[in-house]
Homo-oligomer: A and B are copies of this chain.
Amino acid sequence: MAVIESGREVHSGGDVAATAPNPVLVEVTRGPITESRHRGAIAVVDAAGSPVLAIGDVAAPVYPRSAVKALQALPLVESGAAAAFRLSDAELALACSSHDAEPMHVEAARRMLAKAGLDERALECGAQWPRPEAGWAAMARAGARPGPIHNNCSGKHAGMLAVGRHLGVATTGYSAAGHAVQRLVRTAVEEMTGEVLDHAPCGIDGCSIPTYAVPLAALAGAFARFAAPEREPAVRAAAIRRLTAACFAHPEMVAGSGRYCTEVLRVLTGLGFVKTGAEGVACAALPTLGLGVALKCDDGAGRASEAMMSAVLLALLGPVLDQARAGAVRAAGFPTLRNWRGQEVGTVRAAGPLAGGLRR
């Protein structure tokens, strides 16, 4: 046991990481002081692949999780599956979504599967209770239990199954890394990020498919490509445009009522294609600026990645947003904190290089 003298600190550093700590970017306050703080890193890259902004360590490998669903959905369009099965824009948006399992999401996922000649028994994402206030109360009332169709990734998985059916391959095991569908998905991510995924750390995502860790700078580069489809080969450009348009047309399908991505997509239609991922990741493609954004909160907090993304969006798009839209982006990322009685108890605020809008 360590013994110290008179309160002098034994450990004040000893960071296991080799590089300097990422800066504090988000503070959560209660009353007069900061209660908790979140560190993180942010990369912004242009369509030529040149870095425009880097805060913190943008070279360390990051599992993008759900933030790259739109990249993973490229084969759904490029393979011809989306056209062959006549998937609607709403269904394509669901293929890019981390949805709430509200009735509209569950019905759309079922339709996608049916169009591909399948049903929910084909899904390999695992069962998940819908979020509170989204559908679980109704489900519980009916004495029902959730299934894989309610998993927030079921739209993505329905899309993957559609690809498999269109290719004419057996769909069992479609979630495994070696399956034809996953190889197409991986290739799309590899091409968009410019990273050789053979060398990338590979983990298993919450929904069972592989997730490859790549630098934030590479993720930002992928989203910059998404923001500038005119620079891509024709088939990819068409797929990017189709998915982007689908998500802008159906923001409610991409997440759900009151959720961050839905609110921001709705407010920034045409300007900011935003998608968050588990463990504090968020990415965005900004088509009018030809920029891609990728960020990660070190500790994985969603409240911080949403605040960080809102700060970045306001800094980059600020000049073209009217007060209402800027206010909505700000409120989505920096909500007033209320307690169980609805009393205002604190705030979420940008800090360090994010305070005052991406200061140097």
- Copies of this chain, complex-wide, total 2
Q: Which of A191-248 contact B (CB under 8 A)?
A: 201-208, 211, 213, 217
Given known A-B contacts A16-B352, A36-B279, A300-B36, A203 and B30 have beta carbons under 8 A apart: yes
A170 at the interface (CB under 8 A from B): no
- A80 contacts chain B at the CB level, 8 A cutoff: no
- State whether A352 touches B11 (Cβ < 8 A): yes
Q: Restricting to A103-134, which residues have a CB under 8 Å from any CB of B?
A: 124-129, 132
Closest to A29 in B: B203
In the complex formed, the residue of B with least CB distance to A145 is: B137
Q: Are A14 and B208 in contact (CB under 8 A)?
A: no
Check B300–A35 contact: CB distance below 8 A.
yes
A230 to B288, CA, bound (A): 70
Once the chains are docked, how many angstroms separate the CA of A358 from the CA of B10? 11
Residues of B within 8 A of A132 (CB): 129, 136
Enumerate chain B residues within 8 angstroms of A125, measured Cβ to Cβ: 340-341
CA gap between A354 and B2 in the complex, in Å = 12
**Nearest CB in chain B to that of A202: its residue:** B31
Name the CB-closest residue of B to A21: B21
Give chain B residues whose Cβ lies under 8 Å from the Cβ of A127.
Answer: 340
Q: Which residues on the B side are within 8 Å of A14 (C-beta)?
A: 23, 352-353
A340-354 to B contact mask, C-beta < 8 Å, 1/0:
111101100001110
Q: Given contacts A13-B21, A140-B137, is CB(A204)–CB(B345) below 8 Å?
A: yes
Residue of A24, A57, A143 with highest tally of chain B CB at under 10 A? A24
Is A15 an interface residue, CB under 8 A from the partner? yes
Contact (A299, B36) CB under 8 Å given A14-B23, A140-B141, A339-B205:
yes
**Contact in complex: A15, B7 (CB < 8 Å):** no
Q: Is the CB of A37 within 8 A of B298?
A: yes
B10 touches A339 (CB 8 A): no
Q: A7-B51, A201-B32, A217-B7 are in contact. Are A339 and B206 (CB under 8 A)?
A: yes
Q: Do residues A301 and B301 form an inter-chain contact, with CB atoms below 8 A?
A: yes
Q: Does the CB pair B11–A203 fall under 8 Å?
A: no
How far does the alpha carbon of A15 sit from the alpha carbon of B205 in the complex, in Å? 32
Q: Is the CB of B299 within 8 A of A30?
A: no
A33 contacts chain B at the CB level, 8 A cutoff = yes
Q: How far is the CB of A173 from chain B (nearest CB, A)?
A: 13
Per the bound structure, the CA–CA distance linking A19 and B71 in Å amounts to 41
- Beyond the given A32-B201, A204-B345, A207-B339, could you list 8 further A-B residue pairs with CB under 8 A, ordered by the A residue number? A4-B54, A11-B352, A11-B360, A16-B37, A128-B340, A137-B140, A203-B345, A301-B301
> What are 19 A-B contacts with C-beta separation under 8 Å?
A2-B52, A4-B52, A6-B51, A7-B58, A8-B54, A15-B24, A15-B352, A31-B202, A31-B211, A33-B213, A39-B299, A124-B341, A126-B342, A136-B136, A140-B141, A205-B345, A206-B339, A206-B345, A299-B304
